[in-house]
Amino acid sequence: MSRPSDKHLRGPRISPAGIAGKETVSDLIDNTFLAYNAGRLREACQLFVRQVLQPDVTVGMSLTGAMTPAGLGMSSLIPLMEAGFVDWIISTGANLYHDAHFALGLSLHQGSPFADDVELHAEGVVRIYDIVFDFDVLLSTDAFLREVSQHDQFQRPMSSAEYHYLLGGYLRERESALGLARRSVLSTAHDLDIPVYTSSPGDSSIGMNVAELALDGNKLRFDVSADVNETAAIVLGAKRSGGKSAALIVGGGSPKNFLLQTEPQIQEVLGIDEKGHDYFIQFTDARPDTGGLSGATPGEAVSWGKVDPDMLSETVVAYLDTTIALPLLTSYALSVHPARPLRRLYQRREALMAALVKEYGASREFRDQRATEATTTR
């Protein structure tokens, strides 16, 4: 048998010191998360602070799973947002709906996943696995959403980012009235001018309440085309400013695709020259072999133009529970990297869209000219 080549044995030797009980989170991740999905989590954390948080990188986050009911909004998302570590967000509507409970002073409780659901239903208790809360929490939040969405400023079509920004302002007012602070992702996003989109506006209790108001003549409508184009404009703006674009994917599902499809929208549909997102970090429990988008790898994303093929080495997928991964990533990043200046992308949407439209116009003119030349030479 020939000797193994050095390239296979050049990694650090596995020889950790014993855990003493005084280690910080960053100590544990750097020094004891050495293999398997612990190793991938370490790689994700290190890539995040080493490359993704560079000053010229615009960070988009997608969020699925019931994160906010479990308190992840307050414990992890808001600290990342305040530190300038997340510049724009795509979330399920459900996460944003449940986020509103906390700004309204409503309570969710730790419970048991083995509770009798028939008994819970009879007593008016709702369960999300091991989280429980009174059914009135839903009714109170529904009433708030309907009241707010009837105000004059909502009586028109708008992107989901604009709706969430306006809603976040009302949630901030309610927090202040109740003496609360930094309870809601949406109210924080409003303060920090972080645009928050949802890829399926009708697929949540927010969309359900907006649909109910439509039956009474309310003119609020979600403009999904604006969402598609605004998110593409954010990514194009990141690249055209000489910077890079990062995708931080918590879970999978529709928000993951909506974040990544910005590049095919730019390249394939609008015909603008681009190469793909530069960084890709995902925490997921979805397998790739079932063909679902949630488990699709960054390599597969390259084939769609979603990820720059030259940057494939700067991608990590860690297969683990996102409720474990996200707090660890947050603690690691905050402990080893200084805060970044806020990009306040919400207030820059019009300028970013104008730049996208200009490039699209030039691309369209070039394609039309080529088509004319091809027809003439036949």
Eight-state DSSP code of residue 307: B
> Mutual orientation of helices 25-32 and 322-336 as an angle, nearest 10°?
110
Looking at 244, 275, 306, 358, which residue is catalytic? 306
Residue pointed to by tokens 């709706």: 163
Nearest by Cα to 97 from 126, 60, 55:
126
CB 235 within 8 A of CB 58: yes
Question: Which amino acid does the sequence have at 115?
Answer: A
150: Cβ contacts below 8 Å, ≥ 6 apart: 213, 218
In angstroms, rounded to a whole number, what is the distance separating the alpha carbons of residues 83 and 72?
A: 16
Neighbours of 17 (CB within 10 A): 9
Cα 180–chain centre separation: 25
Calculate the alpha carbon distances from 218 to 149, 209, 213 in Å: 8, 11, 5
Query: What's 216's DSSP letter?
Result: T
At which residue do the structure tokens 């003493």 appear? 20
* Angle CA 132–190–244, to nearest 5: 105
Token output for 117: 């659901």
CA distance 101 to 184: 8
Active site residue 306: yes
How many residues does the structure list for the chain?
A: 378
Please name the residues in contact with 34: beta carbons below 8 A apart, sequence gap of 6 or more: 14, 16, 42
Contact 355, 233 (CB under 8 A): yes
Active site residues: 306
